[in-house]
Structures are given as structure tokens and as C-alpha cells.
Structure 1
């Protein structure tokens, strides 16, 4: 498998680079960053007539975690939940303070258990194909139920990997824990990634949610009585946040979570990643595209793709400098910025980030803290240590998985309680009345009675 071949020779270089970074960054500012405030607040804010004012909620947990959000009933509920689950000072794992170690372990180490999938190939409206890998094992009690078609009422967890399509240890461990705790995980694989065939001369752009939108509609059609949650890893947050912004109140999701999301995407590509990650991800992307060289040659100059010396050059060649519809770099990001429609998001979104994330960059310039301070739908759980999608504390097991799943349960119980108290539909509970809905949010999706057979054609096969 190309991933393990790549890992075999990247690991020694990674360790050398890590050693150099540790020697240079031994007492860096990052370890002292979290106790500081990005902005000193002079008071609790000026009260207004509608009482919909910003009151900063900076609650410190044991071990240096903070929750940044707008004051609301749901925020208070989540504070109580996180205080029960987060006590990172108990962790004794020595390397948890090294962000590069936490980051690299997620790409180098295998998961504790091998996942078993039931794959659905979903044919989209334009003829493209994406894959949905329903996690049905390794537990024998789960396998005996007969596969993907029998989980009709359990909550479904849609997992969106990073932009490269890597099924990292982080993603696999999350699926294992979710399956164990009663969720039904399904992994979304983009066109041409993770064994999914490429049938069109089109790759998914960074913030294009069209394919994800059809996949979510199909999942809801397959499981109409199940609650649907979604969680993204790293750069996979671009698709998820774009989907939530485009769909607004018509989203089928109950709640969403983002692990180490990248918000300032354009700047991230322009500045570039640390050389080890930039070079490794660029090489992996070229290896993935090499199998489609002949097919994509009609749309893209593949020679320039393979000669790219940075991720920006590769993305710009693939999506901006095409043979038919060329566009500028800035116009591309105007259409693909994951926060372009963030004001339309209408479900709770939890973002778990670390202050020492080596891929995202310094939190002062890469985290949109004003979004979390002013928007009642967004919650930022910021931790002092964790790297990129690492969040290791007491061994190579990520604590963010358990927190994310508990967050989904807390939101579900909160909305059910609010519905009973206020006698409103779930999507109009009192916590969501902080903002007046605009007419543009009232979008209509095809109902389950719609003839989905004409919209979708799929094929299931058991893999791995």
C-alpha cells in the first residue's frame, strides 16, 4: 500500500525534523500562550433592550482548556458537560507537550482495531461517484445484524477525512469509539480518493459542498428516522462548513464537530506548511493523482501538476489554470472559502483546536475568535497542547473523540428538553432564537417521498 511505503521512509526524516524543532522551540511562546487573552475585556458588555449582547464566556478547565462562545443556555449546558470530561492535568504521557509528535503519530501509527466496511458507491447527478464506507465491524455482535441496511434508528455519524482522503489513525479511532457507543459511523470518500473511482474530469474543490450535499441527502433517505451528526478532520472542515453555510436551516444535521479545522485556508496555502508536512502532503497528492494522469490530461496540464513545488502551485494548476475555464487564485477562494456563508449556519458546531497546532499556525492570526464570541451556533474548545488532530493525553489515544461524542449527546438532550418546554419544533428551540431567521434560510429539499431512485444509483460492495 502506497501509504505505508511512504510512511516507511518519511518517518526517519520526520524524527530528524522533529528533533531539530524541539531543540529550537524548547521554551517557545506556545507553552505560555493559552493563559493570555487575545483581547482584554473591560467589563461584561453593555446591556441592550433585546439582551442579545456579547458576554464573553472564558471558562478555564483543568489542564488549560477553554471554551470560547457566546453566552446562551446551550453554552451553559456544554460547560457543565466539558467540565466533567476534561481534566487533562491527570495525563502523565510525557510527549503530549510536543505538538509535532502528536501530529505525526496520527499519520504513522495504525489504529487499535481494523475497521470493516460496507461500501456504497453513490453516483451523483453529473455522473461522478463518491463512496460511503459504512463501518460495520470489527465487533461480531454488529456484524451479525447484517450490514448497513439494518441500522434504521441509531444515530448516524458522518465522518469527513482531511482533504487528501487519508484514513488516519484519528479517523479510524473515532469510528471505533462511535460504533462502540451506539453510533453508526460512515466515512465520506471524495472522487478519486480512498479507492473511489474517478469517472468525470472533475475533482472536488476545497470548499465545494455539492458532492457532500448529495451524500447527506442519500444518507437521510436511507435512514429517515435516525439523527444525523457530522465530524470533520483537519482540512475536511472546508467541505463541512461550506455545506452548513449553503444549506442553512435546511441542513439534515442535528449538530456538527470539527477537529483541528483550518479557517484561514487561502493564507494557509499562500504561507505554506512547515517543510516536512508541505513536502509529505505534496508527494502524497502527486502519487494519488498519478493514476489519473491520462484521464485528467484533457482538463489539466498534468506535467505542471507533477512539477509543482508547493501545495499552492498544485491546487492552482488543478483548479485555476485549467484548459477550459481558467480563473484567478483570489476568485477561486472567493468561491471556496469555508466561512463565506458562515452567518447562515443554523445548527451547533463545536470546533476543537490546540494553541500549538503546527499546521494551522499561530492562533492569534488563524482562529476567528470573533465568530465564536458573537455567533451562538459556534463553540471553540481551545486546548494548550494537542498538535494537529492529536489531542493526546495519557497515551496515544485522542481525548477529543470522547468529548465530541458526548457533545452530540448533550446537544440532542438539550434540544429535546427545549422542545418539550417551549413546545416548538426541534430546529426552532429557544437556544436558536438568538438570531432572527431570514427568508433565504427557508430552503426546501426533496422530501423522502421523492423518487430518489431517479436521483441516485448506487452499488454496495464489502471491502477491506
Structure 2
């Protein structure tokens, strides 16, 4: 008899366990216990790897990350706060998604298939641009989604041209999972994304023996001018990821009111480049970035050896030393010989000071000249950037063009959400809604301006029957202003020059009125 009961004991135990797990509170208890055990094991691993680990264990999917908005109260800023719902709260993901190191691993270290098109279901096409100095940059256009159901949502612009979003990767040129996800979501919402690749990055050939400096926007200027001339009726927006913000903020500062962009956004931006390089990163991330950068340089080691000491570059042990060796101790071109490529390669040695390098490459060196609304998304638990106390808060409090959203969680360019959300990253929803809200604000103000300046509803009604009429006039007048900028590119596009009419000048003057 006891043998019979012993034979039934395993089956009875399994049956009882199955019945217990049918209870929801038992399932939640086991799930929470497993989660806590795994989290504590992960904390031990982080301590061994010398990785800081903020406590996000008790976060639930119903909670929201705290968002601190810092801005100067203006008409535009108030409109954004009232109408941009994603900036009201950031959905908080549960562990392990909430862990900042998990988000960095998923976004930067997790390998992406070579067929990135299949990875995100996007079809890309590439344009190579020949720059004035003989260098080549690349533009990857996200032309369509492979899913016909989602693709149908992008074709809702009959008679209109979709707005273009220029995506700027980080300074290493690495295409991340979140960048591809942003392309996917932008296509779904009717935008036309294009990824900007610097010379030597993203498989773009390096035809000149030099890389682009951290905050040198000269190549980006010509790329945006190319896009503007080929898509004159499309609104242009720009988004930078991580250290790629050094390029975008430098462009906005140097161009000022001559920028072609309607609005811009920076996800986990680097505001102080020198501080970023001089602040020690966690060793694991530092070594990974150093190896990745050396692999890039090694592809062109022979050509770069004429302007750089490649042996020292490959033997250096820090990103700061590598940046110094690549840009502060290089042989610069002889300015007296630029007629041909052979003459351009006659080189002379010049020593550049580290402080002088950042004097001309700091992202915010011309922040006072920025005349485009910029949304910056930062996180307090970002392990790759200096602490939140080092943020240039005064710029956001005093400039009408800078808008800061500081969250308590998000890691570096992560901001991951739960699976049931509209997208994988809260920052993507925030950026795209921000662009839409800014566009709506300009349309509302433009209609009000028309009624006030031209008098009467009849003229305003006629203009509404011609979508984009005033917008097109504003863009043409703005192009004239930009062609006269200090960038020295007006000679290439002299065919656009003409006299400015009174209506266009008045409309352009209004373009700055949202700073009131």
C-alpha cells in the first residue's frame, strides 16, 4: 500500500503545483521572487565589473519616470508643454529593461545583422556626396517599410511632400538598434528618415587622409544643403544620438538663423566635449569603444600614416589620448597649395593645443547663435555622461531655443518602454511628437500672422485653399538668407539668388516671433 502512495507522490506533487500556479497571486509571487533573485545576482556582477547600479528593482509598468522640464517660458515652449503629452510622463519599464547597463548592452553592444534592412524591415538606399575638399560622405535614405500594412500609413500625404528627418549617429559612427527603431517609427508616422554618415564611417570610403573633428560641422552643412536643394518643399528636422550631438549643436550654432532646419532634437547629448573625454568611463565601455575606434582607423592605416602617427594611435590606452593623437598632433595641409590633389597632399607638421582643439570644437561654443528650437532628452542614470549636476542649466533657462527634459531613468540613448507601448523607446515618441507640435505651432502662428497683417478673413481663406503657399514663400526667403551666410557655399547654388519681396521679408521676420 505504501508503495502505491509513493508511486503517486510525484504525480500528486506536479498536480498540486499546477493548481497553485493557476492562481494569479502565486504566479506574481514567484515572478517577483525570481526577478529579485536575478536582480541581486546582476548587482553582484556589476560590482565585479565596476559598473554603477542605481536601484530600479521595484519599478512597475504602471509607474512613470519623473520628468523635470527646464526651459525659458515663451509662446513656443508653453505650446509644447500643453500639447506634447509624451513630455508629461515617461513610462517606466520594469527590470531588466529599466537597468541602465542592460539598455546600453542592448543598444550599443548587442550585434546588429549585416542585413540591417531585414533586421528592422526597412529598405535603405545610399547617396554618396563628394565634398569640396574631395572627401566623401554618405546619406542612407529609409525609403519604405517591407510590411505592407505599416507602409500604408506612410502614404497619407496626397499632394504633399513628407517632412525629412536627418539622423546623426554617435561620434563612433555606429548604427545602433535604437537608431533603426527610430527610422522604423518615423516611416510609420509619415516622415522620410535619412542617416548621415561622416567620412570613413558606416562603410563610407575615406578619400582624404583625415577624419572629421568632434565638432566640425562643415560636412554636415554641405549634406543639409544638398538635401535642401533636392527637396525644397519638405520641412527638415534633425535628431542626434549621444556624442553625435556635438556635430548637430555645432551646426546649429555656426549657422544660426541661416539653418535650414525647422527643429532639432538631441537624445542623451554631450554638451561639454572636453569634460566628456576627460571623465573616466566604466572600464568595460571604455575598452569596447577604444577597440571599435581602433578597428575603424586600422582600415585606413596606410593612408592616415602620412598625417598621423598610427603606431602611437594603435598603442594608446584611452579615448582622450587617441583623440589628441588624431587631431592635436597631425600634419595639416599646406594652405598655399590646394590646386590639385597632389599639391594638396604636400603636408607640414603642426602641433595643436588640446585646449585650442576644444575651443573650436565644443558643441555649445556658439550656443548664443542658435535660432532653431532644440529639444534635449537626458537621463539622471546615464552611466556614460557626466552627472546631471554638470548640465548647462543656465542655457535652458535663458535661451528661448533650448528645451530640456530630464528623466530619472533612461540610461544612455535608451529610454526603453514595456512591450505594450507604441514604440520600444519613449525618446522616439517624444521626439516625433515634438516635431509635430512645433510644426502645428508654426502653422497656427502663420495663420494668425496672415490675418493680422493682410486684414480680413477672405485673404486668409484663399491662402488656406493653397496648402504650403506661405510656407513655400517663407522657405525661399530663408534660403536667400542662408546662402549669404559665412559658410561660403553660395557660389555653388547661385541660381537660387533673386531679390526679396516685401511679403517674403515680412514672413521671415515673423519666423523669429515665437521667442516672445
Q: Does the TM-score normalized on the shorter chain lie above 0.5?
A: yes
Q: Distance in 1 between matches of 2:448 and 2:389?
A: 40
Deviation at 1:100?
A: 1.4
TM-score by length of 1: 0.77
Q: Distance in 2 between matches of 1:405 and 1:123?
A: 30
Residue number in structure 1 paired with 2:278: 270
Is 1:326 paired with 2:334? Answer: no
Deviations 1:97-149 (A, max 9, x none): 421112221123448614321100000000000000001133366999xxxxx
Deviation at 1:447?
A: 9.2
Is 1:128 paired with 2:135? Answer: yes
Deviation at 1:248?
A: 0.5
Is 1:358 paired with 2:383? Answer: yes
Indicate the SS of the match to 1:357: coil
Which piece of structure 1 moves more, 264-273 or 331-340? 264-273
**Backbone CA RMSD of aligned residues:** 3.2
Q: 1:414 aligns with which of 423, 441, 452?
A: 441
Residue number in structure 1 paired with 2:180: 172
Deviations 1:337-395 (A, max 9, x none): 01000100001000000011111121102x10111011110000110000000101214
CA spacing shift, 1:154–1:120, aligned 2, 3 Å: same
Structure index of larger Rg: 2
Q: 1:232 aligns with which of 232, 240, 249?
A: 240
Q: Contact 2:217–2:247 (CA<8 Å) still a contact in 1?
A: yes
Is 1:154 paired with 2:162? Answer: yes
Deviation at 1:322?
A: 1.0
Q: Distance in 1 between matches of 2:45 and 2:266?
A: 26
Q: Contact 1:18–1:101 (CA<8 Å) still a contact in 2?
A: no
Q: 1:115 aligns with which of 103, 119, 122?
A: 122
CA spacing shift, 1:226–1:346, aligned 2, 3 Å: same
Q: Contact 1:231–1:258 (CA<8 Å) still a contact in 2?
A: yes
Q: Distance in 2 between matches of 1:445 and 1:402?
A: 35
Deviations 1:297-335 (A, max 9, x none): 000010011011000010100000113222010000001
CA spacing shift, 1:443–1:312, aligned 2, 3 Å: closer
Residue number in structure 2 paired with 1:75: 77
Q: Contact 1:356–1:386 (CA<8 Å) still a contact in 2?
A: yes
Q: Tell me the number of residue pairs that the alignment of Structure 1 and Structure 2 aligns.
A: 392
Deviations 1:28-87 (A, max 9, x none): 7x99xxxxxxxxxxxxxxxxxxxxxxxxxxxxx953012110011111111123335644
Q: 1:446 aligns with which of 487, 490, 499?
A: 490
Q: Contact 1:96–1:386 (CA<8 Å) still a contact in 2?
A: no
Q: Contact 2:107–2:414 (CA<8 Å) still a contact in 1?
A: yes
CA spacing shift, 1:136–1:309, aligned 2, 3 Å: same
CA spacing shift, 1:316–1:27, aligned 2, 3 Å: closer
Residue number in structure 2 paired with 1:384: 408
Residue number in structure 2 paired with 1:403: 430
Q: Contact 2:209–2:304 (CA<8 Å) still a contact in 1?
A: yes
Structure 1, unaligned runs of 5 or more: 1-14, 32-60, 145-149, 430-439, 453-464
Deviations 1:157-213 (A, max 9, x none): 000000000000111000110011100000000101111000001210000000000
Q: 1:201 aligns with which of 195, 209, 213?
A: 209
CA spacing shift, 1:88–1:446, aligned 2, 3 Å: same
Deviation at 1:277?
A: 1.2
Residue number in structure 2 paired with 1:309: 317
Query: Does 1 or 2 have the higher relative contact order (CA < 8 Å, sep 6+)?
Result: 1
Q: Contact 1:415–1:426 (CA<8 Å) still a contact in 2?
A: no
Indicate the SS of the match to 1:336: coil
CA spacing shift, 1:223–1:93, aligned 2, 3 Å: same
Deviation at 1:443?
A: 8.3
More helix by percentage: 2
Q: Distance in 1 between matches of 2:64 and 2:441?
A: 24
Residue number in structure 1 paired with 2:394: 370
Q: 1:281 aligns with which of 276, 280, 289?
A: 289
Residue number in structure 1 paired with 2:365: 340
Q: Distance in 2 between matches of 1:26 and 1:291?
A: 36
